[in-house]
Structure 1
């Protein structure tokens, strides 16, 4: 049923489903794409763990048992994507419902609004409402799935003799990240549409407007990533667990240092006072071969930056260089194999391989600089600039370690995105922005308020789908191309 990928002039760059009725093709394409994106990473993880286990020569389970466990895990992963309330079904209902309802709604709108309305307006309205309705239903589909993380058993009044019982409470919020992703994309489409109208009649912009246009994406990324890093320090539960763990892995920081800065913020630790918190940083100092007294806030005001350096010596600048080297090496070990693997999918040439290597090096330099600027921003506020502005008394030192030092790192680290290629900056900004917005919203809320999130998602999806249907370029990055290709009949 599914033919090969078309390649000639006028052919589509996606899988052609010639035997499927045109009205059903968007749904099927969306389902296959959603299935691949949902199940593919799980299959890769299962196979990677199995390969790692074989290499390690584990003997806990016999080879036959390992293979049986592997087969069971693969079957479970493959079957999970076929359930009616999972991501593939969501994709199929969103794209398929939008395509299926579009023409009937256009006919209905024509009857209701009369012949005075232009065909273009009727087409756009029909497409918008069709996507709005299908997006509402598809999100409700995902929200209908119950998970332990969003379920709680609480005490409740009962007819039992003791008058005490329990009840199960379900919360909303499972789909919040998806909703914020759609909302950010919709806002990006709207802002770019408004910005496009600011072009002068001769097609030029003023120097100030051109500068704003060039700095908009880097500034957007810097603000968003700063909010994420602030949340990682002081409100980690507001970030998705996998994202939080990835940041921790990249940062390579002793958790005792983070906990100490949190306690300064809450007032549990204060300079010049014995609040019973000395053991936290004193044990850390001893582990890095430093005097334990350096970690006692009652004695050491402030605790030296050498503790922040985690054994790299007293120089803040040397620590920054050391951080860049380690972060760059860690990033390159991730980016380089990935970019080379993507090139090997096609027929690689020396030019394409060189471009892939340079891209990996550039991305690694960006991430290395991001981490370096964050740490050096902390050092700048603690030892270089902060004391000169705020003073060196105990209250000033407490204020710096209470949040100013972390805030400085959060402010400067995101501007490392300027190292990245200009065409990648928008994607990075649009990737981080939803996660930044999520830090200002509760991860769980009353189930009865899900309609608000549904309305935001549906309206946002309608804006994005309508923009992509008219011009794939209106929705930046890969998303616009994917949506435009999926919706083609």
Structure 2
């Protein structure tokens, strides 16, 4: 007779899970480390493969090197070894994941893992069990984040000159800043906030439905909550990208620049409008900036002179697509849709390749097309929002004199585009809206906070992260369905016995 404690897959003669030989109390820790290691190493391996393919193509093409000395490149084997070793660093993300998950499960007093635990068999009071989970997770989260924060980073270290004693000798002094883990802490905070607000709203709905008091307005609030969060978050992100790019991570800035495909001179001109360096109807020495674009696109040079052109024509914003704002918007959508398909389609086809079928292939194509339409509309709404404020609606409401044009180009037109772009989320699959909203919300909050701050204030961030993680992990063990989206599936998989 097969033992009742044997895994079902083994009892049926099927393949056992990869961690079935690991003691149950240690399985969450091992799963967390493996997942963290894969998240660090796999993207870098993929980049390495792409680099090797590009290098091979160039070498086969036999392109001229103009006799220039090329810097020595690291061999593929050395790069592979370095990437694999990076994931083993005890101060990096894999060790953080293992410390967080392992600590929260192993430190838990009377934890739910391990059937031989005395306190589990005694079935302690429910509130006491929840408290033990919170305390264990809070402690593990605190020390795991400290582990990440202990790693030195050049971006958060600054060397300044300081006078020594009464002498005039200047000695270098190294100052360390906090903020390296800010994005992770804000991610945990947003997830905890989503759990708390979601649970309160669910309880309210249950009561009002039972009393037949649930209204259409409340239904609409539930349906539009995630799109609204996404739209507001994107507005903050795009505003920062346009006027305060240092508030965004470098990789995020680079991706937005690639998707937006905009001439830097146009951005700089609108930035100068906001700082009032460029003012319409006045000679402020700013004509040279946009006149460079006029020469390149073969426009009249006076279009780039703010003292003459009040304002510069919207055709400058269109960057060669002609004077029609609507045609420019359509052109932007087509180009952005094509650019997005090159990103989404291979990813969707890669998922289908595991178990190919015509139905899954059709779903992959539709999913890629829908996501591409969303991103194409996002870019289109931003640009057309700028045109609405500059040409179609703004002048009729604000006026057409130089002062009104200064206000429109000084922030109103960009703000309109920022407000409009995020509502493209309504084109995306409803099931993905919550993940996308909770993905951009922490990045939006980060734009309101300094990327670096004094080290003596770091305990505040650590406290927020530990408390937020305790809320999320306790909810996973108590009410798994409350953690929405992909994160809920991941945590349920990692934390199960």
Residue 397 of structure 1 corresponds to: 405
Residue 77 of structure 1 corresponds to: 83
Q: Deviations over 1:345-366 (max 9, x none)?
A: x212111110110000000000
> Which of 246, 253, 257 is 1:237 aligned to?
246
Deviation of 1:407 after TM superposition, in Å, equals 0.4
TM-score by structure 2 length? Answer: 0.91
Deviation of 1:104 after TM superposition, in Å, equals 5.7
Q: 1:201-350 alignment to 2 at 5 Å?
A: 201-202=209-210, 205-344=214-353, 346-350=354-358
Aligned residues: 471
Deviation of 1:21 after TM superposition, in Å, equals 2.3
Residue 23 of structure 1 corresponds to: 25
> Which of 138, 142, 149 is 1:143 aligned to?
149
Residue 126 of structure 1 corresponds to: 132
Residue 93 of structure 1 corresponds to: 99
> Which of 375, 384, 389 is 1:381 aligned to?
389
Residue 183 of structure 1 corresponds to: 189
Long gaps (5+) in structure 2: 1-6, 113-122
Residue 457 of structure 1 corresponds to: 465
State the alpha-carbon separation in 2 of the partners of residues 164 and 397 from structure 1. Answer: 51
> Which of 347, 366, 380 is 1:372 aligned to?
380
Long gaps (5+) in structure 1: 107-116
The yes-or-no answer on 1:413 pairing with 2:421 is yes
Deviation of 1:386 after TM superposition, in Å, equals 0.5
Q: 1:274 to 1:400 in 2, by over 3 A?
A: same
State the alpha-carbon separation in 1 of the partners of residues 323 and 428 from structure 2. Answer: 31
State the alpha-carbon separation in 1 of the partners of residues 34 and 124 from structure 2. Answer: 36
State the alpha-carbon separation in 1 of the partners of residues 397 and 16 from structure 2. Answer: 59
CA RMSD of aligned residues (A): 2.4
Residue 55 of structure 1 corresponds to: 57
Deviation of 1:233 after TM superposition, in Å, equals 0.4
Residue 115 of structure 2 corresponds to: none
Q: 1:201 to 1:407 in 2, by over 3 A?
A: closer
Is the Cα–Cα contact under 8 Å of residues 100 and 141 in structure 2 kept in the other structure? yes
State the alpha-carbon separation in 2 of the partners of residues 11 and 144 from structure 1. Answer: 47
State the alpha-carbon separation in 2 of the partners of residues 477 and 18 from structure 1. Answer: 26
Deviation of 1:16 after TM superposition, in Å, equals 4.0
Deviation of 1:245 after TM superposition, in Å, equals 0.6
Deviation of 1:466 after TM superposition, in Å, equals 1.0
State the alpha-carbon separation in 2 of the partners of residues 274 and 282 from structure 1. Answer: 14
Residue 36 of structure 1 corresponds to: 38
Deviation of 1:15 after TM superposition, in Å, equals 4.7
Is the Cα–Cα contact under 8 Å of residues 14 and 485 in structure 1 kept in the other structure? no
Q: Deviations over 1:246-270 (max 9, x none)?
A: 0110001001000111111011100
Aligned residue for 2:108, secondary structure, equals helix
Q: Deviations over 1:257-299 (max 9, x none)?
A: 0011111101110001111111111101211121121011111
State the alpha-carbon separation in 2 of the partners of residues 55 and 465 from structure 1. Answer: 48
State the alpha-carbon separation in 1 of the partners of residues 90 and 14 from structure 2. Answer: 29
Q: 1:163 to 1:376 in 2, by over 3 A?
A: same
Aligned residue for 2:96, secondary structure, equals helix
Residue 109 of structure 1 corresponds to: none
> Which of 416, 427, 431 is 2:435 aligned to?
427
State the alpha-carbon separation in 1 of the partners of residues 211 and 258 from structure 2. Answer: 47
Q: 1:14 to 1:296 in 2, by over 3 A?
A: farther
Is the Cα–Cα contact under 8 Å of residues 158 and 165 in structure 1 kept in the other structure? yes
TM-score by structure 1 length? Answer: 0.92
Deviation of 1:478 after TM superposition, in Å, equals 1.2
Aligned residue for 1:57, secondary structure, equals helix
State the alpha-carbon separation in 2 of the partners of residues 418 and 13 from structure 1. Answer: 42
